[in-house]
Amino acid sequence: MEGGEGESSSTAAAGVVPESAMEAVKQTLAQLQELKPQLEEMMSLAKPEALAQMQPLQRAKTMYLLAEATTTMFTLRLRCSGVNPDDHRVKSEIERLNVYREKLQRCMDRRNVLNRQAATRFIEHSLPDLSSTQKQNIKDLSKGEKSRMTTYSETTAKKRKYQADDEKQSVQPEEG
């Protein structure tokens, strides 16, 4: 009879919680088990010796991702406990992380931008023997007035072409 009572109580519980909800809980638990090794690997990146080997931007990304993952998991725990994260102190942490995400994004965007005017000033002051035409060409480039600069290979190709013609003339025997 004890076995019958246990079955009836589980049947009663099954009637209270819909089967779809139980299936969702099982899927969530399975996904959390898959996530565990990845989290352990990610936590190994937080060790001081691992962080010391990273470039500053990579270190900032890693620390941000760790904070984001931790906050997200804590938010999920609050939701599962029936607590609204918007009414909890974690909301200020989420807002703080959003500020840092924007700062990190600006840093990543800024890495690939060239300040043409600063580069022009640097080049102009490092090459003191420029002619006035060369200086004007550099200024035009910094303003974007010249679409492209003649490359070294184009210049040498032109020189070689003329040198080859000169060499042919000098190699030919003179008639006399």
pLDDT the model gives residue 131: 83
Report how far residue 161's alpha carbon sits from residue 159's, in angstroms, rounded to the nearest whole number.
Answer: 5
Report how far residue 173's alpha carbon sits from residue 137's, in angstroms, rounded to the nearest whole number.
Answer: 44
Ramachandran angles phi, psi of 73, nearest 5°: -65, -40
Provide Rg for the chain, Cα atoms.
34
Average pLDDT, the chain: 76
- Predicted confidence (pLDDT) at residue 162 exceeds the cutoff of 60: no
The DSSP H or E segment spanning 111 is none
More confident residue, 9 or 70: 70
pLDDT the model gives residue 100: 93
- Predicted confidence (pLDDT) at residue 94 exceeds the cutoff of 70: yes
Residues with Cβ < 8 Å from 82, sequence gap 6 or more?
none
- Every domain of the chain and the residues it spans: 35-113, 115-144
pLDDT the model gives residue 144: 67
Report how far residue 55's alpha carbon sits from residue 107's, in angstroms, rounded to the nearest whole number.
Answer: 13
State pLDDT tens for residues 55-91. Answer: 888 899 989 998 998 899 899 889 988 999 999 999 9
pLDDT the model gives residue 1: 44
pTM to 2 decimal places: 0.50
State pLDDT tens for residues 12-45. Answer: 455 688 999 899 989 988 988 998 898 888 888 8
Report how far residue 42's alpha carbon sits from residue 93's, in angstroms, rounded to the nearest whole number.
Answer: 20
Are residues 97 and 54 in contact, defined by beta-carbon separation less than 8 angstroms? no
Residues with Cβ < 8 Å from 16, sequence gap 6 or more?
none
Over residues 127-156, mean pLDDT = 67
Residues with Cβ < 8 Å from 22, sequence gap 6 or more?
14
pLDDT the model gives residue 83: 92
Residues in the chain: 176
